Chain A
Amino acid sequence: MSPAELAQALRAMQEWPLVHAIGGNAYAFPLLDAAHILFQAFVVGSIAALDLRLLGYALMQRPVTELVRHILPWTWAAFAGAAVTGMVLFVLNVTTFVDNRSFLIKMLLMLLAGANMLAFHKGAYRTIGEWDLGSPPPQAARLAGALSLALWLGVVFFGRYLWYPWSNRVGF
């Protein structure tokens, strides 16, 4: 696909009835954005709780496996909500977002957070029986927790930053 074709496709997306329905409604955009923020807050907050457990700073009286079982299904549900509302917000702004460095960085950071989670599940989590309760998590688990905290912090930061167009602005 050539850049011109891509631009054409994106401009066509801007003519979708959904875009016009939301664009013409004074309440739809703030409500969608509020829903996205609400879901995102739950995702970040619940992941942070697990990360702090992996770092050994909080919830040390609870087994990691129990926390994973109780927290993660809700995290995924909230993530699904954030993803759906996020996609609608993306389509509404598609022509600016594809060109928005903050947006691309945010997506990249989320991919990295996903990769970090996968690496944790394939790595340190396999030996969970040895450190589930009563002993400090191993180095690899603490690293995964710290990385996850930092990456989600970055996701929130760039999620805010993407509203300030800076691709044509000096400085960061």
Chain B
Amino acid sequence: MRSLYSGRCPRYFCTWQNGVGLPRQLENGGGSGKATSSCEWTTLPPTRYSAWVYYDSPELQDFVRWLAATTPSIWLRAVSSSVPVLLVSVQTVHLLGMSVVIAANGFVAIGLLGGLRSHDALASLTRKVIPWVGTALALMLVTGIMLIVRWPQRILLSPAFVPKLVLVVCGTALLFYIERATNRQQDGLKVRTPAAMALAILLVLTWTAAVIAGRWIPFA
């Protein structure tokens, strides 16, 4: 099939000229911020690395260089560059894990806001989702490590990577706290109270920010 597209690309990210629709900046070791494609809209804002920024540290850069040269990294890149089925499968598992985490946390938040039948329904829901969320996070850890090994400079050197990890840890801790609080025998957290509503909003905001930060990794 021939593409109908002709003329220049009016978009910031352009699969047509850029191949995979992602900035090429980190691929060249970062720094220049110059677009490598013919699409003039893909020019990235100049990066503002400075000495205290962790992703600019020589140790991390050395580690990334070492990791990118290991056999698994070379193999994962070689396999996924010609036919990206493996890469997309890994991303799909990562996304499905995220679906479990987001839906579970979403319904816990809905329950805290009073969207479920009763308080008991929320308490049993929080108990039930914990093992699912744990399994999903474990799957995401495995697939996430595969994605890092495949292209360490894109992920480890991205300013969005560590914020994403911190947000995921915060969201998970918040979910565990809510599970404990709703299942306490006395003094348990009650739905529709100000504390429950504040927790629900915090939970939603934390996971939303985690998803945004995660999506931002290749763009940052």
The answer to whether A165 and B96 have CB atoms under 8 Å apart is: no
Decide: A26 near B44, CB < 8 A? Known: A153-B96, A156-B96, A164-B88: yes
The residue of chain A having its C-beta at the shortest distance from the C-beta of B9 within the complex is A23
Q: Which residues of A contact B117 (CB under 8 A)?
A: 66, 70
Bound Cα distance A92, B16 (Å): 12
Decide: A23 near B88, CB < 8 A? Known: A7-B4, A34-B215: no
Q: Which residues of B contact A44 (CB under 8 A)?
A: 96, 99, 103
Binds B, one of A14-22, A107-115, A123-131, A137-145: A14-22
The answer to whether A93 and B4 have CB atoms under 8 Å apart is: no
Question: Restricting to A5-29, which residues have a CB under 8 Å from any CB of B?
Answer: 6-7, 10-11, 14-15, 19-20, 22-26, 28-29
The residue of chain A having its C-beta at the shortest distance from the C-beta of B213 within the complex is A34
Q: Is A76 an interface residue (CB 8 A)?
A: no
The answer to whether B103 and A23 have CB atoms under 8 Å apart is: no
Binds A, one of B48-56, B104-112, B173-181, B190-198: B104-112
Question: Restricting to B1-31, which residues have a CB under 8 Å from any CB of A?
Answer: 1-7, 10-13, 15-16, 19-21
Bound Cα distance A159, B215 (Å): 14
Q: Is B211 an interface residue (CB 8 A)?
A: yes
Number of interface residues of A (CB under 8 A): 59
Q: Which residues of A contact B134 (CB under 8 A)?
A: none
Bound Cα distance A159, B98 (Å): 14
Bound Cα distance A3, B20 (Å): 26
The answer to whether A163 and B21 have CB atoms under 8 Å apart is: yes
Q: Is B208 an interface residue (CB 8 A)?
A: yes
Q: Which residues of B contact A156 (CB under 8 A)?
A: 92, 95-96, 99
Q: Is B58 an interface residue (CB 8 A)?
A: no
Q: State which size class the interface on B falls in.
A: 35 or more
Bound Cα distance A14, B16 (Å): 13
Q: Is B61 an interface residue (CB 8 A)?
A: no
Bound Cα distance A143, B163 (Å): 41
Q: Is B75 an interface residue (CB 8 A)?
A: no
- Output the least CB separation between A95 and chain B (Å): 4
The answer to whether A163 and B15 have CB atoms under 8 Å apart is: yes
Q: Is B162 an interface residue (CB 8 A)?
A: no
The answer to whether B211 and A38 have CB atoms under 8 Å apart is: yes
The answer to whether A171 and B83 have CB atoms under 8 Å apart is: yes
Q: Is B212 an interface residue (CB 8 A)?
A: yes
Q: Is B145 an interface residue (CB 8 A)?
A: no
6 extra interchain contacts, Cβ-Cβ under 8 A, other than A92-B11, A99-B5, A167-B1? A22-B11, A34-B212, A93-B15, A98-B4, A156-B99, A163-B21
Between A and B, 14 residue pairs with Cβ closer than 8 Å are: A11-B6, A23-B12, A24-B41, A28-B12, A29-B13, A34-B211, A40-B99, A42-B106, A46-B107, A78-B106, A99-B2, A157-B92, A163-B20, A167-B3
